[in-house]
Chain A
Amino acid sequence: RKEVEQDPGPFNVPEGATVAFNCTYSNSASQSFFWYRQDCRKEPKLLMSVYSSGNEDGRFTAQLNRASQYISLLIRDSKLSDSATYLCVVNVGGFQKLVFGTGTRLLVSP
Chain B
Amino acid sequence: NAGVTQTPKFQVLKTGQSMTLQCAQDMNHEYMSWYRQDPGMGLRLIHYSVGAGITDQGEVPNGYNVSRSTTEDFPLRLLSAAPSQTSVYFCASRPGTGTLTGELFFGEGSRLTVL
Interface size of A by CB at 8 A reads 23
| Chain B contacts to A: CB under 8 angstroms | 31, 33, 35, 40-45, 48, 50, 56, 58-59, 90, 97-99, 102-104, 106-109
B108 touches A43 (CB 8 A): yes
Q: Which of A44, A46, A91, A97 is in CB contact (< 8 Å) with B58?
A: A97
- Cβ < 8 Å to B, chain A residues 77-105: 87, 89, 91, 95-103
Using Cβ atoms and an 8 Å threshold, which residues of chain B touch A109? none
B42 touches A95 (CB 8 A): no
Whole-angstrom distance between the alpha carbons of A87 and B97 in the complex? Answer: 21
- Cβ < 8 Å to B, chain A residues 31-67: 31-32, 34, 36, 42-46, 49
Whole-angstrom distance between the alpha carbons of A44 and B37 in the complex? Answer: 11
Q: A44-B90, A49-B103 are in contact. List 12 more A-B contacts (CB 8 A).
A: A32-B99, A42-B109, A43-B90, A43-B106, A44-B43, A44-B104, A45-B106, A98-B104, A99-B45, A100-B43, A100-B44, A102-B40
Using Cβ atoms and an 8 Å threshold, which residues of chain B touch A45? 106
Whole-angstrom distance between the alpha carbons of A45 and B107 in the complex? Answer: 10
* 21 intermolecular pairs with C-beta atoms under 8 Å apart: A32-B102, A34-B102, A36-B104, A42-B108, A43-B106, A43-B107, A44-B104, A44-B106, A46-B102, A49-B102, A87-B43, A91-B99, A95-B97, A96-B48, A96-B56, A97-B48, A97-B59, A98-B45, A99-B59, A100-B42, A102-B40
Whole-angstrom distance between the alpha carbons of A96 and B42 in the complex? Answer: 18
